[in-house]
Amino acid sequence: MSKKNKQFVEEITPMEVDFPQWYTDVITKTDLVDYSPVKGFMVIKPYGYAIWENIQNFADRRFKETGHKNCYFPLLIPESLLTKEAEHVEGFAPEVAWVTHGGKNELAERLCVRPTSETIICSMYAKWLKSYRDLPYLYNQWCSVVRWEKSTRPFLRTSEFLWQEGHTLHETAEEAKEETLQMLEIYKEVAEDLLAMPVVCGQKSENEKFAGADSTYTIEALMHDGKALQSGTSHFLGQHFTKAFEIQYSDRDGNLANPYHTSWGISTRLIGGLIMVHGDNRGLVLPPRVAPIQVVIVPIAAHKGNVMEKVDEIFADLKTSIRVEVDDRENYSPGWKFNEWEMKGVPVRIEIGPKDIEKSQVTIFRRDILEKTQIPMENLKETIEKLLDDIHESLFNKALEMREKKTYIAKNMDEFKKIIEETPGFIKAMWCQDTECELKIKEETGATIRCIPFEQEKLADTCVCCGKKAEKMVYLAKAY
Residues that bind its own copies (CB under 8 A): 34, 36-38, 41-46, 48-50, 52-53, 69-78, 81, 93-104, 111, 113, 120, 123-124, 127-128, 133, 139, 143-144, 146, 148, 159-160, 162, 331
- Burial (Cβ within 10 Å: 0-12, 13-18, ≥19) of residue 362: buried
- Give the separation between CA 9 and CA 335, rounded to whole angstroms: 12
Please, which residue, 3 or 101, has the CB nearer to its own copies? 101
CA distances from 449 to 34, 87, 142, 430, 445 (A): 32, 21, 29, 11, 12
Please, which residue, 54 or 445, has the CB nearer to its own copies? 54
- Burial (Cβ within 10 Å: 0-12, 13-18, ≥19) of residue 10: exposed
Please, which residue, 19 or 73, has the CB nearer to its own copies? 73
CB of 92 to its own copies, least distance (A): 10
CB of 130 to its own copies, least distance (A): 13
With beta carbons less than 8 A apart as the criterion, state whether 282 and 12 touch: yes
3-class secondary structure, 261: strand
- The count of residues in the chain is 480
The phi and psi torsions of 307 (rounded to 5 degrees) equal -55, -55
Please, which residue, 160 or 192, has the CB nearer to its own copies? 160
- Give the separation between CA 318 and CA 337, rounded to whole angstroms: 20
- Give the separation between CA 477 and CA 451, rounded to whole angstroms: 10
Which uninterrupted H or E stretch holds 371? strand 371-376
- Give the separation between CA 27 and CA 29, rounded to whole angstroms: 6
CB of 65 to its own copies, least distance (A): 13
CB of 139 to its own copies, least distance (A): 6
Which uninterrupted H or E stretch holds 76? strand 76-78
Please, which residue, 99 or 308, has the CB nearer to its own copies? 99
CB of 451 to its own copies, least distance (A): 28
CB of 390 to its own copies, least distance (A): 28
Please, which residue, 134 or 178, has the CB nearer to its own copies? 134
CA distances from 122 to 33, 73, 258, 307 (A): 34, 11, 12, 61
CB of 350 to its own copies, least distance (A): 23
Pairing of strands 228-238, 448-453: unpaired
Please, which residue, 67 or 305, has the CB nearer to its own copies? 67
CB of 166 to its own copies, least distance (A): 13
For every residue of 19-69, which 3-state class applies, written as one string?
A: HHHHHHHHHHHCCCEEECCCCCCEEECHHHHHHHHHHHHHHHHHHHHCCCE
- Give the separation between CA 124 and CA 34, rounded to whole angstroms: 36
- Give the separation between CA 392 and CA 371, rounded to whole angstroms: 15
Please, which residue, 79 or 225, has the CB nearer to its own copies? 79
CB of 90 to its own copies, least distance (A): 13
CB of 351 to its own copies, least distance (A): 23
Please, which residue, 43 or 439, has the CB nearer to its own copies? 43
Please, which residue, 72 or 454, has the CB nearer to its own copies? 72
CB of 126 to its own copies, least distance (A): 10
- Burial (Cβ within 10 Å: 0-12, 13-18, ≥19) of residue 37: exposed
Measure CA of the first residue to CA of the last residue in the chain; give whole Å. 36
Please, which residue, 74 or 376, has the CB nearer to its own copies? 74
Handedness of CA 180, 186, 192, 194 (dihedral sign): negative
